[in-house]
């Protein structure tokens, strides 16, 4: 049977899509290759939120095609995902040797296209929008002819037994932040029904999954048009409650939310629902009201700080992380200083700092005053210094304390050890073994590595037990 290698460049959403595509290929009798060299078909699933992921994937593809040509391997190559969606047929034109381009609405057709290529019934395929014509001609379907109901077609995956799993709850985004390419690569918001999501989550838990992360581009907007507010609780909180009720589930997370989605109902849910971990991601993007407006973010610095305050009141010790963009067009030194002061004021546990990258057909790419790279680089470094200093101090504050981790398996950094995550999503490495996998374990933090904690199991074998009194759950 032909083997396929699927590699992901980019975000969790893409990781999740790659899992679903892999499951589809396996269900159709293909095997998953261990690496690019041994695969009959190589698929790169690529994010286009920032230019870096695109460039990496393009470079990788170029070199794979080069090697395959030289060694006459006869391998087939394809791009999946956001970049495939936004660049479409242009990719085939620019890259001789590329065989397949599949957009974000068309993952469910991956196996069909792969088989057609391998059988020789299709030569080169672009599938980025609704069907028209035959498969063996190159079709230029421009971005996003939306298919109603497509979210249903993307599920459900048959992922291998694992401790922590993603469940896709929605696709697309209607926020239209001026820097962001997602509305054109993923389209309008479409939410899956609550029952369908709960059924998928329940099946995962029955297979041993202990932690579920609800996944979407803007999860806090989940189901707004589909479900009425009930007792002051919006659709997203109703969904959280329904998944939270699944017996055997230990932890519930979600990503990525929008700050404006942290209404009173969600903030209160953190205090009320014990499986909802104390970890909130609130992508702020900038500390300057002027830039927040230009970015079309829908909140002010003051409102943002108020939400953080409310979260910390509802759930003391909650971990707070963020995304920040430096060098948005027209960002002045004063705007940047506002971002620095916001970072200091909040004290984020973690912040992902991105250099602004102009994306095609986004309003920000057409703004005047695009900043020189050198300015962006310099601000990026300054901000990282502040972010890291705050984040590292938070790690050091944990030394000597006992935290609850969910053990995921052998450590990715040190195969001789095991690792798990705290409820606040920090990785803890400890001396464990296979019997710890999937267990909730109390560990005492001994020391700090580079964004990692090293722990010693304080109480072993707490399978499924609630955290002991010694544990501070909010870590």
Residue 72 CB neighbours (<10 A): 7
Of positions 107, 354, 395, 418, contacts ligand 5AD by CB under 6 A: 354
Among 83, 235, 291, 325, binds ligand 5AD (CB under 6 A): 325
* Contact status: 213 vs ligand 5AD (CB under 6 A): no
47 scored as a contact of ligand 5AD (CB under 6 A)? no
Which of 13, 49, 91, 170 forms a contact with ligand 5AD (CB under 6 A)? 49
Number of helical (H) and strand (E) elements in the chain, helices listed first? 14, 19
Smallest distance from ligand 5AD to CB 286, Å: 10
Stretch that binds ligand 5AD, among 136-144, 292-300, 349-357, 442-450 (CB under 6 A): 349-357
Distance from C-alpha of 394 to C-alpha of 42, rounded to nearest angstrom: 41
Using rule CB under 6 A, residue 326 touches ligand 5AD:
no
DSSP states of 413-428: S-TTSEEEEETT--EE
Candidates 283, 391, 455, 457: give the one binding ligand 5AD (CB under 6 A). 283
- Binding letters toward ligand 5AD, positions 7-46, x by CB under 6 A: ----------------------------------------
Residue in 115, 323, 344, 377 binding ligand 5AD, rule: CB under 6 A: 323
Tell me which residue has its CB nearest to ligand 5AD.
Answer: 323
| 58/325 with CB nearer ligand 5AD | 325
CA 196/CA 10 separation, integer angstroms: 26
Angle at 350 between CA 436 and CA 330, to 5 degrees: 155
Which residue lies nearer to ligand 5AD by CB, 114 or 177? 177
264: which 2 tokens? 């009173």
Q: Does 357 bind ligand 5AD (CB under 6 A)?
A: yes
Question: Judged by CB under 6 A, does residue 377 bind ligand 5AD?
Answer: no
What is the DSSP track for 217-278? TTGGGTTTTTS--BTTB-HHHHHHHHHHTSTT--EEEEE---GGG--HHHHHHHHH-TTB-S
Question: Is residue 251 within 8 Å of 273, Cβ to Cβ?
Answer: no
Q: How far is the CB of 221 from ligand 5AD (least distance, A)?
A: 15
Q: Which is nearer to ligand 5AD, 126 or 280 (CB)?
A: 280
Residue among 24, 85, 285, 321 that touches ligand 5AD (CB under 6 A)? 285
Asked if 179 interacts with ligand 5AD (CB under 6 A), we say yes
What is d(CA 380, CA 18) in angstroms, rounded to the nearest whole number?
A: 31
Number of residues that make up the chain: 475
**Listed residue (264, 260, 267) closest to 283, CA to CA:** 260
Window contacting ligand 5AD (CB under 6 A); options: 81-89, 286-294, 350-358, 408-416: 350-358
Residue 431: φ, ψ to 5°:
-85, 95
The candidate with the shortest Cα–Cα distance to 167, out of 81, 96, 249, is: 249
- The interface region with ligand 5AD, picked from 149-157, 333-341, 353-361, 424-432 by CB under 6 A, is 353-361
Closest-CA residue to 321 (of 343, 358, 351): 351
How far is it, in rounded angstroms, from Cα 20 to Cα 418? Answer: 27
268 scored as a contact of ligand 5AD (CB under 6 A): no
- Say how many CA atoms lie within 13 Å of 447 toward its Cβ: 2
Query: Which residues touch 313 (CB under 8 Å, ≥6 apart)?
Result: none
Does 180 contact ligand 5AD by CB under 6 A? yes
Q: Judge whether 140 and 120 are in contact, CB under 8 Å.
A: no
Q: Shortest Cβ distance from residue 176 to ligand 5AD (Å)?
A: 12
Least CB distance to ligand 5AD at residue 245 (A)? 30
Is 50 near ligand 5AD (CB under 6 A)?
yes
β-pair type (319-326, 418-422):
unpaired
Using CB under 6 A as the binding rule, the residues of this chain from 94 to 153 that contact ligand 5AD are none
For 454, the 3-state DSSP assignment is: strand
User: Kind of pairing, strands 402-410 and 418-422?
Assistant: antiparallel
Output the smallest distance, CB 179 to ligand 5AD, in A: 4
Smallest gap from Cβ 459 to ligand 5AD, in A, equals 37
* Of 52 and 118, CB closest to ligand 5AD: 52
Interface residues with ligand 5AD (CB under 6 A)? 49-50, 179-180, 283, 285, 323, 325, 354, 356-357, 359
């Amino acid at each position: 049977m032909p083997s396929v290698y699927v590699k992901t460049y980019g975000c969790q959403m893409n990781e999740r899509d790659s899992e679903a595509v892999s499951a589809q290929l396996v269900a159709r009798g293909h095997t998953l290759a261990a690496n690019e060299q041994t695969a009959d078909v190589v698929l790169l699933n690529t994010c286009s939120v920032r230019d870096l992921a695109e460039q990496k994937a393009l470079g990788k593809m170029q070199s794979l095609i080069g090697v395959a040509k030289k060694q006459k391997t006869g391998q087939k190559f394809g791009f999946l995902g956001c970049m495939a969606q936004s660049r479409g047929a242009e990719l085939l034109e620019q890259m001789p040797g590329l065989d397949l381009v599949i957009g974000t609405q068309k993952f469910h057709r991956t196996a069909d296209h792969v088989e057609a290529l391998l059988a020789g019934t299709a030569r080169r395929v672009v599938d980025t929008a609704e069907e028209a014509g035959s498969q063996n001609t190159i079709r230029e379907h421009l971005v996003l002819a939306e298919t109603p109901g497509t979210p249903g077609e993307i599920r459900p995956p048959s992922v291998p037994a694992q401790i922590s799993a993603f469940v896709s709850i929605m696709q697309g985004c209607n926020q239209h932040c001026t820097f962001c390419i997602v509305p054109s690569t993923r389209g309008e918001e479409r939410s899956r029904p609550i029952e369908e999501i709960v059924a998928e989550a329940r099946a995962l838990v029955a297979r041993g999954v202990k932690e579920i992360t609800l996944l979407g581009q803007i999860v806090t907007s989940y189901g707004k048009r589909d479900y009425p507010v009930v007792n002051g609780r919006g659709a997203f909180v109703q969904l959280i409650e329904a998944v939270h009720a699944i017996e055997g589930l230990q932890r519930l997370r979600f990503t990525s939310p929008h700050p404006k989605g942290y209404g009173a109902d969600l903030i209160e849910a953190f205090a009320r629902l014990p499986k909802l971990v104390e970890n909130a991601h609130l992508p702020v993007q900038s500390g300057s009201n002027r830039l927040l407006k230009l970015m079309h973010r829908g909140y002010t610095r003051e409102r943002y700080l108020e939400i953080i305050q409310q979260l910390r009141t509802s759930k003391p010790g909650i971990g707070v992380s963020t995304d920040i963009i430096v060098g948005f067009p027209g960002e002045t030194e004063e705007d940047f200083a506002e971002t620095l002061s916001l970072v200091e004021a909040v004290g984020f546990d973690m912040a992902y700092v991105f250099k602004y990258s102009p994306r095609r057909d986004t309003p920000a790419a057409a703004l005047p005053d695009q900043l020189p790279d050198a300015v962006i680089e310099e601000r990026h470094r300054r901000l990282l210094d502040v972010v890291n200093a705050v984040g590292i101090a938070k790690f050091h504050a944990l030394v000597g304390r006992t935290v609850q981790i969910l053990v995921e398996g052998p450590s990715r950094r040190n195969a001789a050890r095991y690792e798990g995550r705290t409820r606040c999503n920090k990785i803890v490495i400890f001396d464990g073994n296979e019997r710890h996998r999937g267990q909730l374990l109390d560990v005492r933090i001994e020391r700090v590595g580079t964004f990692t904690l090293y722990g010693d199991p304080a109480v072993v074998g707490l399978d499924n037990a609630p955290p002991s009194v010694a544990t501070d759950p909010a870590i």
